[in-house]
Each structure stands twice: as C-alpha cells, then as structure tokens.
Amino acid sequence: MNKRNTANEQVTFYPTYGYLVNGVWHIPMRIWVREAATGLRKILANQASKLIRDKAGLHKLNQEQLQMFMLRAENFVADNESFEKVEFQFDHDPKQHRYHIKDTSGGVRTDFNGLQHGTLTLTAERADELLEAKNAKNGWLTFNAVSDDHVGKGQLRLINPTGTSVISDIDDTIKITDISAGQAVVLMNTFFKDFVAAPGMLDFYHGFGADTAFHYVSGGPWQMFEPLAEFLFSQGVGFPSGSIHMKNVRLNPFESESYHDLWQLISKGSEASIDQKTRQISNILAHFPGREFILVGDSGEHDPEIYQQIKTSQPKQIKAIHIRDVVGDYQQHPERFKGMHVIDIDSKYN
C-alpha cells in the first residue's frame, strides 16, 4: 500500500503498567497516531464551540475561553493515521533494542482510527536490565518513539505482585467537574475553564506513600487524556503518576455537529460508564491477585455502586473504599456508603 510521506506524526503512548506471570512481564499498551487538525477539521471544532455555547446557554464566552476550547477539542478533530507501525526504545537501554506491539490477531499497524492495542512482554531478566540501566524508582520505565516520522514518549510501571494499589476516579473525585450542577457548568468546566483540583485530595493521595501504585479509571473519553494528564501530573498540581483507563468513543463526534452526542459523552453515559469502569477495574484486579486495593471515587454518579459490586465479587482484594460526597448524599442515603469511608467535600472524614 502506498503511503504519503508525512513528517512528525504525533504518537501518544497512554501510561500503563506491567504485571508479572511466571517470570514474564506482560504490559498492555494503547497507542494512538495522528496529525494535528488543520483546515476543515479546525472549522468543525470552531462550529462545535458555537454549538456548545448556544445549547448550554454559555453566551458570554471571552476570547481566552474560546482559545481554551480549541486546545481541549484538538484531539477530537485530529487527523488519525492508519496503517502505521510504531517502534519505540526504552531510555538508557544499553542494547538499544527497538520494540513494537502486536494486536490479538498479530497485526502490527494502527487501525482506521489511528489506534493500536497490544501486549508487550519482557522477561524478568530483561526488565531488570532496563530498570538498572535507568536507575528506575518504583518500577517506572520511560521510552520514546523511534520509527520514521514518529514523535512521542511514554511511561509504564512494572508493578510488584504484592503491595498496595489505589484505583481512582477522576471527575469530581480529584478534579472539579460539578456533574450534578447541570450541563452548562459541566461543559464550562470541561472545555472553557482551567481545571481545578478537588480540595484536600492531593495530600490524601500522597499520604499513601511512594510505593503505592495508582490506576486512574474515568468515564471520560480518551480524547481528553492529554489535557487531563498535563493538569493532574504537572509540577503545579502533582498527583501521583499512574496508568490511565478511559472510555472508548468514536474519535470525532463533532463531525455530526451533534450536541446530543456530545452531552451524552460528557455527562449522560452512565450505563456505558458503569460497564466500562467495572470491566477495567476488574481487569486490573485480575492482573494482581496478590495485591490489596483501595478504591476512591465520588457520590455524584455511580462510584459507590460500582465499588460495592466489585468488593462483593473480590472481597479479599479490596482493602478500603473512599467516597468523596459531592452531593451531600451521606445523610439522605447512608445505605449507598455502607462499609465505606466518606470524604466530606470540606476535606473532613466521616
């Protein structure tokens, strides 16, 4: 197949983890290759901002807020690059070995959405060599794309079979979204305003210690990964680094100019999020049968119910559940929080 010569295609390696089975590290990976939006796609993003503004009643947006939207919408309208084979190399690797992943059918190239999913395997001996060469702390390895015309870097953590892990929601758990406040507030906080960390949660998370592994499981779309990661893990905010797990949606919902789809995507996809989060959390638990897990979420949607279901099915693995009560539901519906630690929004613990 002929392919045009395109320089500097951006590769996103989503933060992930490795788990050890019979002396071999298994590392599930998700890779996305795309070019920045140009021409028509930028026009679509601009039309989407007007659509959101009109439908949500956000009539008084300033130029700074509109520019913020274009940054947040960038990955929704990016030009996906299919049939790409991405190779990467671990930093400080003395052997300078080039790696790539294969999907379940053995394919090594991205699909029509510019995505590739697969599992990288490393022998324990090879992993130890990479960790020692990098002088890695707590199992973290970093790597860079080295295939032609590809630019991107990533990180992964090789997590010991035993220890403590935190699985955390994002929206209204560690980042203020105010989903219960309605569509205008949610859309403003998602697309038009600087992100704000939930009070007290940064200190709470760092209180677990450096040895604790973190997994962030969100019902938000993968297209929001980069602005979220830049905020959460920046020096100015500084939540502990961890793997990211988000919702799969069609990669360009703006093309249909469907406000309904966008609103469902941001705040109304509860049933899909329940299935998605339950599946992703269950997969993490299955990869680490010897670890203890702490689940952290909020009361605004279905985290208490999801976590209770998971605790019922895996009681030995779930050490504790912490719920940030963003809707003041603890007094009205205490049954939702049975056996859980409730985090008051004023950073008090019940």
Highest mean pLDDT among 31-40, 159-168, 221-230, 271-280: 159-168
How many whole angstroms from its chain centre is CA 96?
A: 29
Give the residue extent of every domain in the chain.
9-36+79-158, 162-344
Residue 341, Cβ neighbours under 10 Å: how many?
Answer: 13
Q: Which of 305, 57, 286, 33 is nearest to 169 (CA)?
A: 305
In terms of CATH architecture, what is 9-36+79-158? Sandwich (2.60)
In terms of CATH architecture, what is 162-344? 3-Layer(aba) Sandwich (3.40)
Segment 287-315, tens digit of pLDDT: 999 999 999 999 988 999 999 999 999 99
Q: What is the pTM of this model?
A: 0.90
Length of the chain: 350
Q: How far is CA 128 from CA 119, 125, 132, 137, 238, in A?
A: 18, 5, 6, 12, 28
pLDDT at 249 over 90: no
pLDDT of residue 7: 54
Question: CA–CA separation, 324 vs 181, rounded Å?
Answer: 16
